[in-house]
Amino acid sequence: MSDEHTYGFDTLAIHAGARPDPATGARQTPIYQTTAYVFRDADHAAALFNLQEVGFIYSRLTNPTVAVLQERMATLEGGVGAVCCSSGHAAQIMALFPLMGPGKNVVVSTRLYGGTVTQFSQTIKRFGWSAKFVDTDDLDAVKAAIDDDTRALFCESIANPGGYVSDIPALAEVADGAGVPLIVDNTSATPYLCRPIEHGATLVVHSMTKFLTGNGTVTGGVVIDSGKFDWTASDKFPSLSEPEPAYHGLKFAETFGPLAFTFHGIAIGLRDLGMTLNPQAAHYTLMGIETLSLRMDRHVQNAEKIAAWLETHSAVEAVTYAGLPSSPYKDRAAKICPKGAGGLFTVALKGGYEACMRFVDSLEIFSHVANLGDTRSLVIHSASTTHRQLTEEQQIAAGAAPNVVRLSIGIEDADDLIADLDKALKAAGG
C-alpha cells in the first residue's frame, strides 16, 4: 500500500500488514505452520541472532503470519510496532517485563477485570513487583500513589465489567509528569472505538480473544508501542536504556530508537518468557479484524437500545452503560470513544444475589460463559466467577458487586435479545 495516501480504518483493517504471498500469490495471509526458517548462509544467521538484520529465526520469536497481525495492530492503534503473544494476560506481563524490577510497583485502576486484579495483586508479587490500586477518577489519589519506585500507570479504556470510561488524557498527563508510561488495556473498546495513543498512552494492550477476533475461537494478546516515550530520560528503565549483557552490551533505546520497546519484547520477552502466539490463532484473528468496524457498530447499536430498555425495567436497580444519557461517563465517552461506548456493561438487580442466579439460569439466547466480545450475546455473574477471588469490597470497587450481572451484547436482533432478557427478569422475580 502506498504511503502517499492516508487510508481509512476499514481499509487498514483488511489490508494493513498483508501482501499477496510471494511464493504462491495467495491473497489471504497463509498460516505459516513452521517452527524454524532456513538461513541464506552462516553470515545471515549470525546477523539475525545479533539483531543486525530483521527476519525469521524460530517461531517462538517471529513468524510471518504473526508478523502481519503485529503490523496490522500497530497500524490500527497508531503505534510504531507491536508484539503478539499467547493471551491478554500474557500481554500484560509482556508490557510490564521491560519496565519493572524487584521492589518496583505499578499504579493501577480499581476498575479492572477480576483476573487482572488477581494477576496484579497476587501473581506479580512472585517477581518482586507490587501494585497500588486507586480510583483513577481521583487524580489526586493517582498522583499520591506514584512514588520513586513506580514504573507505570495502568487502566482500561472501557473497564470490564462495568463499562466505565477512563479519562485517558488526564491520566496520561499525570504519567508524563511522573516520568512513567501509561499502559491502557483497550480490549473492550478496540481501536475502532478508542485509540489510546492519540490520547497520550505510551503502550496499549489487548486480549485479542475478545472483540478483535470476535468469534470465540482462539486466545491471543498484543502489546502496541507508541514509540513516543523517552526511555533514556531517567535511570528508571535500565532494560531499555542500559547495555544488555545478552547482546554484547547493545542498548535497545540507542540502537532501535522509537522501536526499542518492540524489539525488546521480541528479542528478550518472547525469547525468555516464551508466551508465543501460534500462527493459526493469528490467522483467525486477522480474519476477525477484517469485519471489526461492522461488528462494533452493531454491538454499539444493540447495546444502546438494550441498555435504555433495561434502565426502565421494574426489576432493574441500575445500568452502568456509558452510552446512556443518564451515565456520569456520557460526556467522557463522547470524547474518548466518539463512535460509541462499546457493547459491555453491567446490570444491578433489585432482587440481589439470588435474583442474579435465577436470571442467568433463565436466559436462552445469551450464553453463560467466561468471555466477552463475541458475536453472540454473553452473560456472567462476575462476583461468583471472574471476580470470585476478590473481597466484596474489591468486587464493589471493580463494578462487580454481588447483585450485578455483566452483559456482553452481541450482534443478534436487538428485539430478540430484549425478549430473552424480559423473560429472564420475570423468572428472577422482577
Strands 367-368 and 344-349: unpaired
β-strands 378-380, 404-408: how paired? Answer: antiparallel
- 79: number of Cβ within 10 Å: 28
**Which H helix or E strand runs over 300?**
helix 292-311
CA dist., res. 45 & res. 411, Å (int): 48
Q: How far apart are CA 35 and CA 184, in angstroms?
A: 32
256-277 CB burial, b ≥16 within 10 A, e <16: bebbbbbbbbbbbbbbebebbb
pLDDT in tens, the chain (430 residues): 666 788 999 999 999 999 998 889 999 999 999 999 999 999 999 999 999 999 999 999 999 999 999 999 999 999 999 999 999 999 999 999 999 999 999 999 999 988 899 999 999 999 999 999 999 999 999 999 999 999 999 999 999 988 999 999 999 999 999 999 999 999 999 999 999 999 999 999 999 999 999 999 999 999 999 999 999 999 999 999 999 999 999 999 999 999 999 999 999 999 999 999 999 999 999 999 999 999 999 999 999 999 999 999 999 999 999 999 999 999 999 999 999 999 999 999 999 989 999 999 999 999 999 999 999 999 999 888 777 777 788 877 777 888 999 999 999 999 999 999 999 999 998 5
88, 208 Cβ separation under 8 angstroms: yes
pLDDT, residue 1, reads: 63
Q: Which DSSP state fits 214?
A: -
Q: Which fold has domain 9-288?
A: Aspartate Aminotransferase; domain 2 (3.40.640)
Q: 292-427 in CATH: which number?
A: 3.90.1150.10
Task: Copy the grid coordinates of residue 26.
Answer: 495467495
Half-sphere exposure of 412 (CA within 13 A, CB side): 18
In this prediction, residue 17 carries a pLDDT of 95
List residues bridging with 316 in a β-sheet. Answer: 349
pTM for the full predicted model: 0.95
CB 85 within 8 A of CB 222: yes
Query: Which among 150, 266, 214 is positioned nearest to 376, based on CA atoms?
Result: 214
Q: Is residue 428 within 8 Å of residue 358, measured between CB atoms?
A: yes
Instruction: Tell me the C-alpha distance between 132 and 125, whole Å.
Output: 12
CA 43 to CA 280: how far, in whole Å? 31
- The predicted structure's pLDDT at residue 347: 96
- Closest to 106 in 3D by CA, of 202, 198, 15, 242: 202
Tell me which H or E stretch contains 65.
helix 64-77
CA distance 226 to 175: 14
Instruction: Report the amino acid identity of residue 405.
Output: V
Residue 30's contacts (CB-CB under 8 Å, 6 or more residues apart) are: 21, 24, 64, 65
Domain range annotation of the chain: 9-288, 292-427
The Cα–Cα gap between 298 and 198 comes to 24
Question: In residues, how long is the chain?
Answer: 430
Looking at residue 375, what is its pLDDT? 97
In angstroms, the CA 162 to CA 136 distance is: 14
